[in-house]
Amino acid sequence: MNKKTVKKGLLPYVFIFLIMIAIYYCFNVANQKVNTLTYNEFMEKVSDGSVSKLEITPRDRAKTYEIRGKLEKYKENESFFVRVPLSEGVMKKIIDASETQNFKMTTVADPESSSLLLVLINVLPIVLLVGFAFYFFSRQMAGNKNSMDFGKSKARLNSDNNKVTFKDVAGLKEEKEEVKELIDFLKSPKKFQKLGARIPKGVLLFGPPGTGKTLLAKAVAGEANVPFYFISGSDFVELFVGVGASRVRDMFQQAKRNAPCLIFIDEIDAVGRQRGTGLGGGHDEREQTLNQLLTEMDGFGANEGIIIIAATNRPDVLDPALLRPGRFDRQVTVNLPDVRGREEILAVHAKNKILADGITLHNLAKRTPGFSGADLENLLNEAALLAVRRNKEKITMSEVDEATDRVLMGPAKTSHKYSENDRKLVAYHEAGHAVIGLKLDNANDVQKVTIIPRGSAGGYNMMVPSEEKLCSTKTDLLEQITGLLGGRTAEEIIFGEITTGAHNDFEKATKIARAMVTEYGMSDLGPLQFEQQAGSVFLGRDYNKSQHFSNEVANEIDMEMRKIINDCHKSATEIIKKNKELLKLIADALLEYETLTKEQIDYLVKNGKMPDEDEDNLEAMSVTKLRELAKEKGIKNYSKMSKAELLRELDV
């Protein structure tokens, strides 16, 4: 062990020991009772033999003796003090009395005659106090080495240990092409300067969360093999005005010393919001930080060889001065991946995972529209965790399906108890959605139907588009609304009653219908846009929603929305009534199996029955078959168990 470390470890205990001694001394002094006597009173006590102990200290400078002692009648914590003249006569009387009365007498040297003792008495307490204070503050500083460097940049230099290249970034083909120019410039800047080309000073990456903006910035630095500073936008903002601006200056000074280099600012909206906005006015510290950032990017000073890459998923709140040419010259949208991009992303994350033979990444990519790269990584990780939990050597489609449900809706509530009436209601509700999806060409394809509750839903349909489109037609939107109303319609036809189960369906259907009328111009009101987001997200997303219509038009909008919903409801009613047998077939299968996959639904529609059960796949068996197996194994109360409980008892 280092000797310095040992010394630092002992110092606190030394100080604590000294403090305890001081406290003990002060405590004893406080409990002592000292009586002050006059010279005459003292001499009387000496004469009558009342003194039991004396301690005499001469004070040469004051020409006196300081005498402390005890009388016979005093208690243990009681003593007296007296000053007498410094003369031989006084001392002779005291000495004579001690010889006749035989009391204890001691003499102490004058402390003022010893310079060392004088220094210790007067200086040592101050030294100890100052030393303790210095040690305390030094410990505080050691706990936060940068506590006094609050004006220094918090940008960190990325090490080469975790070098990321374009090979690690799946999908994003167009986005990688956009930033390749930066790499070429960082590698050979003279090639661009020869023709007078100016490389973009900044690149803004924006898009939904989890699409790979940060990963793309790391890949640019890795491909260019240049220093890469990364910092979060919130690291600039502090309580004290001017600290953020100081950090921006320091960050660019560090970057200049290592140019050419990259600076990556994540979540730049934390510091780059529009100035002078919000109900309470601007934040002075944040605005000063933004002003300094604007100046450094394109001000009087030159920052050659420094390229800034920033990422945000809220470009609508950024200050316009930050987005102008000369600062963030290039803005790259990092969108959600398409089916090809999802397949490439799955290939990257599936490298260290063992997949069963029946699983293809192409099919997985088709089943996961709307998933970001982060969602796909989480999907495969959840599937791997489930396979380990189930003691399997490979990840099967069962784990992938369950993982998809977990990512979308959360874990299944297997302990939730349904009444038989509730199970039947949910089964017909979900079967209604499935029938509409099967019978309408432009409605979403049914991938999975389940009556196992997840999240706040009692059951759900996984419905994905038959093909990914850039734009949706009016027919597509109307059939989507019809599919959303299929559950409520089935309840009305079968039970003659309605429930609260269609709450989320109505929310989605109403949103689509309103957008058709007010934004897309898909109604009898004509090709007009009545509503749009004003971008004042500082006041709440819908607080300052721009509306360009009168009260009369507002009434017409409501009528058009009602017309769209009513027409779709009529269409759903006609389809459900025409396919009542199919509705009952799917609902009965759901009551028996609880979960149906696309393959099972297609077989059921074609053959009117479920496919033969695989004896090796208990999860795909019906509740009846599982109860038979539970009976054979002697499991008690098997007849009252749900499918999830039966699988758990059968060790699945």
Report which of 253, 263, 260 is spatially closest to residue 202, judged by C-alpha positions: 263
- List 430, 479, 560, 594, catalytic entry: 430
| C-beta separation of 47 from 96 below 8 A | no
End-to-end CA distance of the chain: 54
266 has which bridge partners?
Answer: 232, 311
- The first and second tokens of residue 578, run together, are 């025409």
What values do phi and psi take at 343, rounded to 5?
-65, -40
| C-beta separation of 298 from 329 below 8 A | no
Question: What is the C-alpha separation between 5 and 19, in angstroms, rounded?
Answer: 22
Q: Which amino acid is at 642?
A: S
Per-residue exposure over 366-397, b if at least 16 CB sit within 10 Å of its own CB, e if not:
bbbbebbbebbbbbbebbbebbeeeeeeebbb
Question: What is the C-alpha separation between 399 and 390, in angstroms, rounded?
Answer: 9
Report which of 484, 486, 485, 479 is spatially closest to residue 440, judged by C-alpha positions: 479
Q: 430 catalytic, yes or no? A: yes
Strands 51-59 and 64-71: antiparallel
Q: At what angle do helices 284-297 and 243-257 cross, to 10 degrees?
A: 20
How far apart, in Å, are the Cα atoms of 582 and each of 145, 430, 438, 568, 585?
71, 13, 10, 20, 5
Question: What is the C-alpha separation between 244 and 293, in angstroms, rounded?
Answer: 9
Active site residues: 430
